[in-house]
Structure 1
Amino acid sequence: MKFLHFLRHNIFLIATIIAVVLGIVAGILCRSLKPSSDAIQLVQFPGELFLRMLKMLMLPLIIASIIRGLGNMKGSSAGKIGVLSMVYYASTSVTATLIGLTLVLTIKPGAYSGSSTTDVSHNTAMVSSLDIFLDLLRNIVPDNIVAATVQHTSTDTRTEDSSSSRSAFMNDTGNSTDDNMINQPSSTRTTRLVDGANILGVLMYCIVFGVTLGQLGSYGAVVTEFFTVINTVTQNMIKLVMWYSPVGILFLITGQVMSTNDITATGQTLAIYIATELAGYAIHSLVILPGFYFIFTRENPYAIYSKSVQALLTAFATSSSAATLPVTMQCVEERMKVDTRISSFILPVGATVNMDGGAVFAAIAPVFIAQYNGISLPFGDVIIIGLTAVLSSVGSAAVPGAGFAVLLVVLQSVGLPDRGIAYLVSVDWLMDRFRTTVNVAGDCLIVGVVSHYTKLPPRDSLETQIELPREEQGMLESVLV
């Protein structure tokens, strides 16, 4: 009976673990068949559908959960939760960056490449930390909330040789110009909208909307109830998707392993780099984050991990904190028994802002590139890499492949070449999964910390009116499922 009870309450977890193992084994076996690109695409297609389902539900879940949670919360409680979470996010991001820099400067994985560097130069910075910071603020305060659901702001810097543009002037005037001035490159900054949801802007709008709605009292009850129903409907749609999740995860991992070019050769070339990055993730997620949690709560942090295994495995399979968000919320609210008013605010924000895994990567990868190209970085450039890594990881999209967009920005911030980046690309399909798992693990722990320090009062009569009655919500869920 106990075994059947365990199976019934952990069916999704067991199915997910089996799917991950079968996906890796099937991918390795199918590689021997030398599948074509069309075959790989067909194998990955069921997994692609799974990702699309999760992403489809991400935005409604974020909007409904934040507005519902803050609408049911008093202003002082919302402010306390916001301050606690932001301080915690900033602390862990800085710590993750310091861990990455310490490891890469100590181990020096790029120094083992033995590559020639005679044709590599250290260029002047193309992207400043100021540009990154301003883009972050622009995305936090979008000028069009509808456009923010599909586009975000990005600043591009292009460097052009000014000698060609001035040659005509010299020929016409017959005047000579200082050679240094002639050869000095000129940079042009362009701020534009690019494809990709501006989750930061949507979050900020929903937070302000929810806090304002909570201050309206009974006047805002109807609106809060509307978003409560939207949240309930979305959660039950997520439960339907979760029945498909083992199949999607199986084909996602199988297709990814099949599409990898040469696992053996790549592993030999980048073994030290991979070990360095994995060491950073392990130290941060198994020592630093649990240490923070224990210091703040005096409770066992690994108990949180055991209750969040389903979310961690989904994060590893999808490589997306945003796509994993529905599963994370389900684990936190149902298994950790965290107040939904807290999880509804913390988790959507954390899925966008809390990118500790990305911070470790953004600190290690640029220094590895410099070491690979034989470039000695001064202390000032190391500081710039650290600052840029923190800012870029906060503003990066919570989707697969976003880490390399961050890396390119950090490389440009100190004028490093991109020679050697292809090696990192070849293993990023694997490392990105570990980064995402670290991010989701941090989200689960921060919910526990904030919940420990935020003792929300029981819902008063007004909040009870706003929330769906328990029997009515049960009837709604039974109809939907």
Structure 2
Amino acid sequence: MRFIKSMAGQITIAAVAGVLFGLIVGEWAANLKFIGDIFIRLIQMAIVPLVMSSVIVATGSMTGSGVGKIAFRTFKWMIGFSLVAAVLAYLLGTLIQPGAGLTVTEPLDPSLQESAGEASGWQDTVVGFVSTNVFEAMASATMVPIIVFSLIFGVALNNYIRSTGKREVLTFVDQVQQVVLIMIRIVMRVAPVGVFALLAALTGDVGLAVVTTALKYLGATLAGVIILFLLFVVVVSARTRLNPLKLPRCLLEQTVIAVTTTSSAVTFPTVLKNTVEKAGVSQRVANFTLSVGLTMGSYGAVLNYMIAVMFLAQAGGITLTPGQIAMGMGLAVLLNMGTITVPGGFPVIAMFLATTLDLPFEAVGVLIAVDWFAGIFRTFLNVNGDTMVAMLVAGASDEVDHDVYNGIKDVTAEDFDPEDEAGVDGDGDELKRAESLG
């Protein structure tokens, strides 16, 4: 009953109903497509202000806390595993072809086609990252120049705050971000209706291919999560010389909470407790590494985002260029790193990726419909990956207590607020809540 009342449950029911309706009525279901298009446009219109405000707030509020060897090792492992996740997602997307068979012939928005430009080489592509008119880039939803402008603006704002102590501009942008976030929450209330219309129209056109591609998409995500998790275990065992058979004892409790809540933020207290009391990681390493991981350690999200890129490209019959592949991987990693946070849910992130890489939007409805399941996979890897990165960081400085890990000695973790250690604000929580649809 609780699942039915939740947004994820309502979207899942609407998705099943939309598929069944499309199979029954056939091509007539295309008459409902305009409803789904309105839902997609409601999400699209929030992307530019949300991305701009998120990037500016993240860079403008950065502090110099947490420097040193622990920070270096934390960022090294987190960025390294994120890059591996992006590459693995591309390989799985190429092998499994999750979007193949779901032919989407809907043309791109003319403004997006125009914004794609006619770059003749990589130099032109790089030059295109910088816009001569940021308002023109905003009007055409050309995301990379918008991100570049926002990053530079955020850095300049950060310097201004440090030199003057005045935070009014940062406060204003932060308030804009919060208002846009509320707007997205309002839009997501009609998500079940939008998903029903999108899948009914799509199923009426292509039939059961909707179901098979959704299963392949989830299968690719699950395969990636399993492979990356096993890679984590192998690396941790090799670097720390700990018995991998003892890991289930450390991870079981937080895994249960992660897969039932699909929220890393909700799981954070349990992750911190288990990392110290069961994995044997020192309190200081756990405090810093796990608080950073709350916004940067989303390896399952990186994997899922890149698989979504492959899905949309294949559904649209588009062969990604090497530049688009690299851009997709880069965006998947950056979305995970806290400087380019897109709170508000997977639909916003999927639309952001499609807009930036000039991919068709129509198949996004399939991704939204099954995102609750994908969210389970993502969150499982995110929270357990954070614990294992903490073990790697602690192992490098001999701050893993083997007796605690082996269950010989008991310790008690201290209460800890991640906001005090890494500057994580509400955005961190929002981004993690986005794992389940925000």
What is the TM-score normalised by the length of structure 1?
A: 0.52
The residue aligned with 1:346 is 289
Q: Is the 8 A contact 2:218 2:373 kept in 1?
A: no
Q: Which residue does 1:303 correspond to in 2?
A: 246
Does residue 1:117 correspond to 2:105, yes or no? yes
- Aligned equivalents of 1:320, 1:149: Cα separation in 2: 28
Is 1:81 the counterpart of 2:70 in the alignment?
A: yes
Question: For residues 233 and 301 of structure 2, what CA distance do their matches in structure 1 show?
Answer: 18
Determine the structure 2 residue equivalent to 1:440. Answer: 383
Aligned equivalents of 1:406, 1:387: Cα separation in 2: 14
Equivalence for 2:227: 283
Query: In structure 1, what residue type is equivalent to 2:258?
Result: A
Distance 1:400 1:119, change over 3 A: closer
Taking the aligned partners of 1:278 and 1:427, their CA distance within structure 2 comes to 13
Deviations 1:38-75 (Å, cap 9, x if unpaired)? Answer: xxxxxxxxxxxxxxxxxxxxxxxxxxxxx9xx8xxxx9
1:132 Cα deviation from its structure 2 partner: 3.5
Letter in 1 for 2:105: T
- The separation in 1 between residues aligned to 2:76 and 2:354, in whole angstroms, is 27
Aligned to 1:371: 314
CA-atom RMSD in angstroms: 4.4
Q: Select which of 353, 363, 366 maps to 1:423.
A: 366
- Check 1:352–1:405 CA distance in 2 against 1; reply closer, same or farther (3 A cut): same
Partner of 1:394: 337
Task: Tell me how far apart the structure 2 counterparts of residues 88 and 405 of structure 1 sit (CA, whole Å).
Answer: 27
* Residue among 269, 276, 284 paired with 1:326: 269
Instruction: Please tell me whether residue 293 in structure 1 is matched to residue 236 in structure 2.
Output: yes
Q: Alpha carbons of 1:394 and 1:334: their partners in 2 closer, same or farther (altered >3 Å)? A: same
Match in the other structure for 2:324? 381
Letter in 2 for 1:104: G
Q: Is the 2:143–2:356 Cα contact (8 Å) retained in structure 1? A: yes
| Cα distance, 1:316–1:276 mapped onto 2, change above 3 Å | same
Aligned length: 297
Alignment of 1:131-142 (within 5 A): 131-132=146-147, 135=150
Is the contact between residue 304 and residue 444 of structure 1 (CA under 8 Å) also seen in structure 2? no
Counterparts of 1:149 and 1:310 in 2: how far apart (Å)? 39
1:342 Cα offset (Å): 1.3
Please say if 1:409 is aligned against 2:398.
Answer: no
For residue 359 of structure 2, give the secondary structure of its aligned residue in structure 1.
coil
Residues 374, 457 of structure 1: alpha-carbon distance in 2 compared, 3 angstrom cutoff? closer
Task: Check conservation: 1:333, 1:340, Cα contact below 8 A.
Answer: yes
Shift of 1:327: 1.3
Distance 1:447-1:392 versus aligned 2 partners, 3 A rule? same
Matches of 1:375 and 1:79, distance apart in 2: 44
SS in 1 for 2:323: helix
- The equivalent of 2:137 in structure 1 is none
Displacement of 1:81 in angstroms is 0.6
Task: Give 3-state SS (helix, strand or coil) of 1:111's partner.
Answer: coil
Any idea what the Cα deviations from partners look like across 1:74-125, whole Å, max 9, x if unmatched? x9xx611111001001100000000001111222121122x35164577344
Report deviation, 1:130.
Answer: 5.3
Deviations 1:202-223 (A, max 9, x none): xxxxxxxxxxxxxxxxxxxxxx
Aligned to 1:455: 398
Q: Which of residues 86, 96, 100 is equivalent to 1:97?
A: 86
**423 and 313 in structure 1: CA distance in 2 versus 1, 3 angstrom threshold:** same
1:391 CA displacement: 0.8
Map 1:113-262; keep pairs closer than 5 Å: 113=102, 115-117=103-105, 119-120=107-108, 123=113, 124-125=115-116, 126-129=141-144, 131-132=146-147, 135=150, 193-195=177-179
CA distance in 1, matches of 2:4, 2:154: 42
Equivalent residue, structure 2, for 1:61: none
Whole-angstrom distance in 2 between the partners of 1:343 and 1:196:
33
Shift in alpha-carbon separation, 1:384–1:457, aligned structure 2, 3 A: closer
Distance 1:456 1:421, change over 3 A: closer
Unaligned runs of 5+ in 2: 15-62, 117-140, 182-194, 200-207, 402-410, 416-438
Distance 1:92 1:297, change over 3 A: same
- Check the 8 A contact 1:304/1:445 in 2, yes or no: no
Structure with the higher fraction of residues in strand conformation: 1
Give the 3-state SS of the residue equivalent to 1:376 in structure 2: coil
Q: Could you tell me how far apart the structure 2 residues matched to 1:93 and 1:145 are? A: 35
After superposition, give the CA deviation of every residue in 1:167-223 in whole Å (9 maximum; x if it has no partner).
Answer: xxxxxxxxxxxxxxxxxxxxxxxxx644599xxxxxxxxxxxxxxxxxxxxxxxxxx
Query: 1: distance between equivalents of 2:82 and 2:256?
Result: 22
For 2:339 and 2:379, locate their aligned partners in 1 and report how far apart those are by CA, in whole Å: 12
Q: List per-residue Cα deviations over 1:1-44 (Å, max 9, x = no partner).
A: xxxxxxxxxxxxxxxxxxxxx988999xx99xx99xxxxxxxxx
Identity over aligned pairs, percent? 24
Shift in Å, 1:147: 8.7
**In 2 relative to 1, CA 195–290 (structure 1 residues): closer, same or farther, beyond 3 Å?**
farther
Is this contact kept in 1: 2:232–2:388, CA < 8 A? yes
Q: In structure 1, how many angstroms separate the alpha carbons of the residues matched to 2:169 and 2:383?
A: 24
Query: Which residue type is aligned with residue 295 of structure 1?
Result: A
Distance 1:132 1:86 in 2: 21
Tell me if the contact between 1:396 and 1:402 (Cα under 8 Å) persists in the aligned partners. Answer: no
TM-score where L is the length of structure 2: 0.57
Alignment-mate amino acid for residue 85 of structure 1: T
Q: Mark the CA change 1:152 to 1:356 in structure 2 (over 3 Å): closer, same or farther.
A: farther
CA gap of 1:132–1:281, structure 2 versus 1, over 3 A, is farther
Kindly provide the CA deviation profile for residues 130-165 of structure 1, in whole angstroms up to 9, marking residues without a partner as x: 5446656777886599899999769xxxxxxxxxxx
- Over 3 Å counting, the alpha-carbon distance change for 1:150 and 1:406 in structure 2 is farther
**What is the rounded CA distance, in whole Å, between the counterparts of 2:308 and 2:399 in structure 1?**
42
Do 2:92 and 2:220's aligned partners in 1 also have CA atoms closer than 8 Å?
yes
Q: For 1:386, give the aligned amino acid.
A: M
